[in-house]
A and B are shown apart, each in its own frame.
Chain A
Amino acid sequence: MVARLLERIKTDRSAQVATGLAVLAVVYPLIVETLRDLPVVGDFVPQTSSMVVMLVTTMMALGLNVVVGYAGLLDLGYVAFYAAGAYVAGWLASQQFGQVSFHVGSTVADGLSGIHVSMWLVFALAGVFTTVVGILIGLPTLRLRGDYLAIVTLGFGEIVPQFVRNADNIGGFDLTNGTFGIAPIDSLGVGGFVFRSQDNRDDLYYWTAIALLLFTVFCCVRLRDSRLGRAWVAIREDETAAAAMGVPLMRTKTWSYAIGAFFGGVAGAFLASYRAGAFPADFYFNFSIFLLCMVILGGMGSIWGVLAGGMILGYLNIEGLATIGSKVQEAGLDFDPTKYQFGIYGFIIVVMMLFRPTGLIPERRHKIELEEGLHDTPLYDVQHEGALTDRDPSDD
């Protein structure tokens, strides 16, 4: 196994690049200070704390990629899963429910009120919970055609944040602590050791994030090549043909939704733990579009593309635009790019869709699909009730 891997690194160019990047990623927190001291480029090197957020948003983008890239279902409300994950962390690992005191393997002091479940377990539970939410959202809506589905997911993406903002008094019960959000949420920890700021909290969270991202990438690769993954691609390319070949449409689509939601939930719980809180102000429509922009920039369906797109946009969002802005203002121009960040993302979306719809690192199959202009003809034609679509085979 190891020998084969080494052999591949020796011969395969892309394996060399991947190994290099992986090594760089792992040692990043140790060399970041040196990098930041570099002349000229040093200011543009992201801090470890920024890297943590970038890695986790990239993980969400990979989850969205399962829905949008693999199965070809446009989800404009992915932020709902982020919110669900974050609030599961809030419910299970904070003092939100102070009425009880319930501890399971948690790192906090024993007497503390509220539910405190081990953060590692919370990640799993958040993933399971959002998977269930994804299935519940998916079941009634996945029957709908692509653009209606987009609108419905958008609707859910708006309802969930409003729900958490208002659910501080449901029949007198405070579920979400309203606009203040739930804070503080417990930190990660191993045994009796808690990731605290005096113990390089950022670095420890960084390595955890790397591990989570690697896990996500591994799942994405395995899913892509699995029977389920091939069924998704079949549906994306031609629903009618896929159904005729015996692919169960509803079940397959629901799986893509559920699995996409899972990663969103785990990432949401992680981010809530890192930020030590779940705040409703974080969950807004623009965030869904931001993730979508990552997927489109990188290349729909392409794991390496989404990784690249996610890291690039994540960097711009959290540090890059502000850094560029301060450089621009030092140069004497009065322009603040952070104010127009969503205009910039919108511009990226439009330009990519028009000029390079396959993304920075295209996925092979998707590229063929887009270049040969495969029609997304639905099972039935809109205008002709009941009639199966009469497609011209030469179009395909």
Chain B
Amino acid sequence: MAATATAALNRIRGSSLIDLIGLCLLALIVVWLLVQFFDDPTRFLSIAVIGVTNGAAYGLVALGYTLVYGILQLINFAHGDVFALSGLVASTIIVSVLGLDEESTVIVIVGGLLVTLAITAPVFAFVNAGIERVAYKPLRRAPRLAPLITAVGVSFIIQNVSLALYDVDYRSVPNFIPRTDAVAIGDVAIQWNKVAVILIVIPVLLVLTWFVRSTRQGKAMRAVSQDTDASAMMGIDVNRTISFTFVVAGALAAAAGLVYLLQFNMRYDTGFELGLIAFTAAVLGGIGNLTGAVLGAMVIGLVQAFNEGLDGAPGSDWTRSIVFGMLIAILVFRPQGILGERTPEGA
């Protein structure tokens, strides 16, 4: 007992030092950003706009990670690949089946995109729930690393399904949403396509938060995430609740795939890279926390944009290292994330 107490004491002492180092690092970055801001405010803000909108797109993917982690404490590696596959399928539907192009009228485009989502969301909700049923459910009582390892395997399988269906080429859709300025504040312009992303992500976040907080199913999800056995005793169908979480996450992945596709190219391995970014975002925001996931994603988007846009930053060659460096720094300095609550376990 004495040894445990000493260990705990050491941990507290150690952590205050670690916190101090973390704060110093953060302060340095903030100072550097302030210098950059006063150097050229217009440029700085334009880059920030790009960062926030990219981050919002990442946020949709991060929501899927955080939902599943919240309920199963499982990092669902396959989520990123489900996202990529759904985006690729959406590109086929938009380009080959519906034949939308830039000439189509606004109503046709909006209708077409909604039809696409109406197809991909249920399909990938079903796929995601199927993955859970086949690959994760049998391992629910196994040692904790077992489902994690399986998730890595599933991720590779899905990635190769994308590879088999779409080969190694990048897919994209025409620029449906004009790149013209929607809002201009001073010299800082925000284009329509960026506004559109925010207009999609914010409502999704609000609806999801409302759903998890207020509906019966949402309450069941929270109960299961807190204590599986107790919620089963209270009459909650645990299996159904978990399946349902994967259904929601799958539908979110499909929505994210569509949103991402409207902005960027995609190919079979987009999901791996983006999945890691999104997972980092979820951890940064406080894993299990919905608002935190979107917030974290925006921070990551900003970091990425500043790194690639500002003078004196390391540049895009180092983006991946910086994102993962952040991930490691968060886990070391503040494992509960921005909005998460402190648990001794996280450290």
Contact = CB atoms under 8 A, between A and B. Distances in A.
Are chains A and B native binding partners rather than an unrelated pairing?
A: yes
Contacts, number: 155
Interface string B138-178: 11011111101110111111011101100000000000000
Nearest to A382: B345
A346 B279 CA distance: 20
Contact of A375 (B3, B143, B331): B143
A207 interface: no
B26 interface: no
A158 B341 CA distance: 28
B127 interface: no
B268 to A, nearest CB: 10
Interface string A165-197: 110000000000000000000000000000000
B9 interface: no
Contacts of B149: 74, 292, 296, 349, 353
Interface stretch (A34-42, A95-103, A143-151, A265-273): A143-151
B150 A370 contact: no
Interface in A352-396: 353-354, 357, 369-370, 373-376, 378-383, 385-386
Interface in A253-274: none
Contacts of A141: 328, 331-332
Nearest to B322: A159
Interface stretch (A121-129, A305-313, A336-344): A336-344
Contact of A385 (B145, B332, B342): B342
Interface string B308-347: 0000000001101100110110011001000001111111
Nearest to B227: A383
Contact of A374 (B143, B324, B342): B143
A162 interface: yes
A335 to B, nearest CB: 10
B288 to A, nearest CB: 9
Contacts of B164: 340, 343
Contacts of A162: 317-318, 320-321
A342 B160 contact: yes
Contact of A163 (B145, B321, B346): B321
B327 A152 contact: yes
B152 A343 contact: no
A354 B140 CA distance: 11
Interface on chain B toward A: helix, strand, loop, or mixed SS?
helix
A292 B156 CA distance: 13
Contacts of B148: 74, 146-147, 150
Interface residues of B, number: 52
Given A151-B75, A162-B321, A342-B156, A381 B276 contact: no
Interface string B234-278: 000000000000000000000000000000000000001000100
A72 interface: yes
Contacts of B159: 342-343, 346
Given A158-B320, A354-B150, A382-B73, A343 B161 contact: yes
B157 A357 contact: no
A290 to B, nearest CB: 10
B98 interface: no
A156 B328 contact: yes
Nearest to B160: A343
Interface string B3-14: 110000000000
Identify the interface centre among A76, A152, A296, A350: most chain B CB within 10 Å of its CB.
A350
Contacts of B135: 350, 354
A159 B343 CA distance: 28
A1 B272 CA distance: 54
Nearest to A375: B143
Given A159-B320, A353-B150, A370-B142, A378 B345 contact: yes
B226 interface: yes
Contacts of A165: 317
Interface in B110-155: 135, 138-139, 141-146, 148-150, 152-155
A346 B154 contact: yes
A273 B224 CA distance: 54
A279 interface: no
Contacts of A145: 345-346
Given A144-B335, A353-B139, A383-B227, A150 B75 contact: yes
A373 B146 CA distance: 11
B142 A148 contact: no
A345 interface: yes
Given A158-B321, A350-B153, 7 more contacts: A148-B283, A162-B317, A166-B317, A292-B149, A349-B153, A370-B143, A374-B143
30 contacts: A72-B143, A72-B145, A141-B332, A144-B346, A144-B347, A147-B148, A148-B283, A150-B148, A151-B75, A154-B276, A155-B325, A158-B320, A162-B318, A243-B4, A246-B3, A292-B149, A296-B149, A345-B153, A346-B154, A346-B159, A349-B149, A350-B135, A353-B139, A353-B150, A370-B142, A373-B142, A376-B143, A379-B345, A381-B345, A382-B343
Interface of B: 3-4, 73-75, 135, 138-139, 141-146, 148-150, 152-157, 159-161, 163-164, 226-227, 272, 276, 279, 283, 317-318, 320-321, 324-325, 327-328, 331-332, 335, 341-347
A-B pairs, 9 with minimum CB distance: A343-B160, A346-B156, A349-B153, A155-B324, A350-B153, A376-B144, A346-B153, A376-B143, A346-B157
